[in-house]
Amino acid sequence: MDAISFADFEKVDVRVGRIIRAEAFPEARKPAYKLTIDFGADVGIKRSSAQLTHRYRREDLEGRLVLGVVNLAPRRIGPFVSEVLTLGVPDAEGAVVLVVPDAGIPLGARLF
């Protein structure tokens, strides 16, 4: 594993957001949802494609707090532009599990 400096880590802007809409994304190569996430006043509302379909139902995602990298360059995924990377880790079967903050964290709070 390559080590990075702490200064490099500080460049990654990870913020708390709330999923305000989750939509089916049938055009995606791998099963995914199109998420609309509110990251608070400083960052605003951003969109993300996330491969969460194996563990989460679309309607259960709305209202959930998540962590997202908000300063990556946008990435086109088929007809959709993903503006943030919603963070998750694979379970034993490879299905993505969201990385989530405890309740009570304000939208836009930055991980450090």
Summarised one tens digit per residue, pLDDT across range 21-77 is: 999 999 999 999 999 999 999 999 999 999 999 999 999 999 999 999 999 999 999
Q: Coil, strand, or helix at residue 6?
A: helix
Domain 13-98 has CATH 1.20.140.10: no
Domain range list for the chain: 13-98
Mean pLDDT over residues 76-100, rounded?
A: 96
Can you give the pLDDT at residue 103? 76
CB-CB contact of 78 with 29 (8 Å): yes
Q: Distance between CA 17 and CA 37 in Å, rounded?
A: 6
pLDDT of residue 102: 86
* pLDDT tens-digit map of 56-68: 999 999 999 999 9
State the pLDDT at residue 112: 84
